[in-house]
Every structure is written in structure tokens, then in C-alpha cells.
Structure 1
Amino acid sequence: MISFIKRQTGKLILVLLFLIWGSLLLSQPALIELVREFGLFSGLGVIGAIFANATGAGGGVVFVPFFNYLSFSSQSVVATSFAIQCCGMTAGALTWAAYYKRQHRHDDYWKALPSALMLTIPSSICGIGFAQYSSQSILLLEHLWGGANNLHIAFGSFSVVLAIAIFASIPLMKRTHFNKDLLTRDLVFMPFIGFLGGIITAWLSVGVGELVAVYLIIRGFNVTMSIAIAVILSAFTVWSALPYHAFINPSVVWQVVLFAGAGAVIGGIIAKYVVLAFSAQRLKLFFGMWVLILGITSLPIF
């Protein structure tokens, strides 16, 4: 019985999430009006989570420009994106973790996964903490982009740079032999990337997952493993970021999260099959183009 529960832990957690969601939905007043006004956000959650969990980038790449288009405040854009990603990235992380345990636990090309997570998760959470609770972070944000109100400029700039990095990594995906072990320099670079990515993620709700994935691909590690690491890392990161937006500086639009979050769970489950069905090169090329378009249109040049 215990072994069965261990094998089905991921599925049990997902069932529990949907039960909680159903209870929350049914407890809402004016349920029909709520569904009519916010129900379509479920589709946005599915799309955002598929992109996020199939590429390693945060769902903010989809959510941020959409919420900006709806004229959400800069605080609500990031906060709501984090809350949705807590649903989608958790589902994706559980799916990838189960896939690793079933298929690749004894695969030499995947043996770097636990170590990579141990190097990046704590540093990413520290980066989130620095960005959210340190006054120096506010000064740094104002110096670089003029403050949180210029979120669209920061997002656009980061997206363009991110797209270039994605395109640059595509030729490296044609490798058939991959690195197996982390080197000494990785013990330095990966925590640094995690910390820097955590800061960027706190500001934009996207960053750390894709930065780590691109680094691992450039270093010659298995592409699918790199995406799995990025997704699991992002799940821990967004959960560490949410309490600030939920309790200290409340700015989450929970009606949106109620529907988009449910869609994100579905998208997080589907994403693994998208990665396995299409070549990594095509997936990255399409995603890179998407990120580049979103980045350019977010900049004040149109």
C-alpha cells in the first residue's frame, strides 16, 4: 500500500489540487457571472503553462504581455502571473519528476539533474528574497529601468536578449552525445545564474528557468533534462515569490487565478508530451520567435 502511494504521489497531488479548485469555485458568489467574465482565462492558463513547461521558461512570457494589454497595474501583472505559475509549474514539475524517476533515474545523461537543482534552487530563492525584501533591489530596479512602472520596458529588453540566447543555443541541440557530469566551474556559475535569475524573476515573473536551461544546453547537457531542471527550479522559485504578493503587498487578481490556474495545471501536464513529440530544435525555434515578437512589441518603439 505504501509503495503504491509513493508511485502515485504526483497523481494524488494533482487530484487534490483539482478538488481544492472545485471547492473554491463552488463557494464563489454569483458563480455564473464569474464564469462568464473570467472563464476564458482558463485557455490562457493552458497556453502559458504549455510554453512554460515545454521550454523551461516561466509562464510570465505569455501572462505578462497579456495582462499589460488588459491594463493591469504593474504589481498585479507580476503577482497574478506568479500565482498562476504556482499552479502550472507545480503540475509540470511533478510530471517531469515522475518522468525522470520512471525513465531516467539510472540514465548517465540525466544524472546531473539532482545536483543541478541543489545548486540552483537555494540561490534562486535567495535572489527572490533579495529582490522582494531588500531596499537595494528597489534602487537597482530604478537605476536599470526607472522603477516598477516601466515593467513593459524591462520585460521587452529581457525578452529580446532571451530570444537571442535561445537562437544561439539551437545549433547546439543537434548533439547526439552529451555531457554527464558537472564540472568545478559549474559549482560557481550555476548558483550565480540561479541568484541572478531569481532577481530577474522577482521583477518580471520570468527568467531563472530559461537562463539555467540555456546555460546547461550550451554546456552540452541533454536538452530534455535541461528543460526538466528548468521547470522544477521554476516551480520552487514561483512558490517562494508568491507569499510577498499574497500577504505583504497584496496585488493578486484571484478571480483570474481561479480559472487560469486550473488551465495552467492542465497545460503543465500536457507540456511533457509536447516536448517528447516534437524535436527540441523546432520547439526552441518557435518559442524563440514568440519571445522575440513579444519583446519587440513591449518596447516603446511602436
Structure 2
Amino acid sequence: MGNNNNNKRRKFYGNNAGAAGNGGFGGASNGGKSAQQNAQNGQRQQNKPQNAAGGGNGAGKNKPKNRGMNPANNANKNRNANGNNGGKNRADDGRKDTYVYELDGNVYINLTNKCSNGCEFCVRNERASYYGNYLWIRHGDPTAEKVIAELEKKDVSAYKELVFCGFGEPTYKMGEMTAVAEYAHSRGLKTRLNTNGQGNLINKRDIVPELKGKIDLVNVSLNAPDAESYQKICHSQYRLDAFPALVEFAKSCVKNGVACRFSVVDCIGAEAVESCRRLAESEGVPLYVRKYIADS
């Protein structure tokens, strides 16, 4: 695991930061390339014109792919020459869309596949299922009524939390999310929102008041200590505006009495994690460091 994490750190913060896949999910390896080839590739990468956001030179060249904004294309990326990517395709094979799934004693809600980020380490870059749950939505995002109907079939007292987290950013679906959260509370179930923190940008308004009393814990994915590093890893459609917006969003949650924490994935490296910890402390927001999950 140590070697894998070292390779992931090179992926995020080394010569290849912000580049497309370096030999597998999470940037685990260089696919057996020689040291000389890697050095040459690194030199070519350094010679490419880039802007501060880690891709793009004002003329549209070298612009990072925003995988998050086109989940259909992302899901259908062919991994093999014959077009078979190991069952990861989003083709309609008769399977029912998964809006509600269970994991680690919690019940999770998958409201949408739309996301403003295209994170390097996101599990959806490589597969369409997560711990046996097929999370690509092919027949339209669910209504709150559809989600609640699924929850009605379950013994919610068996769960620790209801978590809004799937293959997309839940704050694209504020109405559905808050309605389901109200239902969860009516059944005595605590709620958590896992978010990229860009909800105010996405909705073009302050959504924090709408979360108060509905969401018991907001978990904001930080994943970098500054705007440029964040953009290299997360490829937000909002580019360098995304990072300060998510920091302000988290601070606003705390200020307005909505329990909130930052989270980082440990594969970004110990130095980056410590930088994130210092940032979180300076902003008065707790930090949670979670393990990188490479496979289900």
C-alpha cells in the first residue's frame, strides 16, 4: 500500500499532476515505462505551456478534461482495444437504477451523476459500480418521492446515518435532498451530506440556510491546501474560484450552526495532509482524513 500511495502522490503533485491517467485508477503506476522514458515525459510536460490552474494556456490547448461534467463519456471510456472496459459501460442492460444503497451500516442516497468536478481519484473514473451497487443513473435523476418509496421498504432503525453521496454532487438536487432529509428525520435517522462544497456556485445562491435543520453533518471534500493544487487534482468547472468558494461554504456552515468538517483522502501525501490540517485549523473547521479506497 505504501508504494501505491507514493505513486499516487507523484500523480497529484509531481510532474504528472493534472495530467490524464498514468497507468490505472488513482495514478497507481507508469505502466512499466523505463526511468529514461519517464524523465523524457516529465521534461515534455514541463515544456508545455500551462496556466495557474494546472492545464490550459488561454488558447484552449492542454486544457484538463472535465470528466465530472460528462459522466456518460466518462463511463464509456474504453479501457481495451476491443471496446470492452470490464463492465464499466453505462449501456442500458436492463438493470434498475440505484438510488438507495447500503454501506458500512449507513444508507446512501444517489441523487444524480452530475458533478462540477472531475477528480483524479474518483472511483467513477474506472467503474460503474461501487461495492456491488451500480450507480450510473440511466433513466433520469430520481424524484424525492422515488427515493422515499425505496426507503419505505427498509428498516431505517438499522442504519447509523442517511448519507447523500453517490456518483455525483448532491447539491445539484437541493429540493430532492432536503425533502428526503426531512423524511429521514421523521423516521429518527440522522443525515449527512458529502459534498465538494461548490453548492453556492452551482445554485447561484447561499444554500447554507436550506441545510440548517435538514442536514446533521456536512462533509466538505478539501483534498488540497490551495486553489492551484486543488484544480490540478479536482478539475472543477469553476477552476480557481472553486477552492475559495468551498472554504467559505464550510466556514458559513460553522458560523450558521450547521455541523461541518473538511475531509481529505490520505493518498494526497503526508505533507499535503498536514498543509490541509493547518488550513482547516486556521479557518475553524475540523478535518477528517479518510483512507483512499482503490477497489471495491
TM-score bin, normalised by smaller chain: under 0.3
TM-score normalised per structure 1: 0.25
Higher relative contact order by CA 8 Å / sep ≥ 6: 1 or 2? 1
TM-score normalised per structure 2: 0.26
Highest CA radius of gyration, 1 or 2? Answer: 2
Higher helix content, 1 or 2:
1
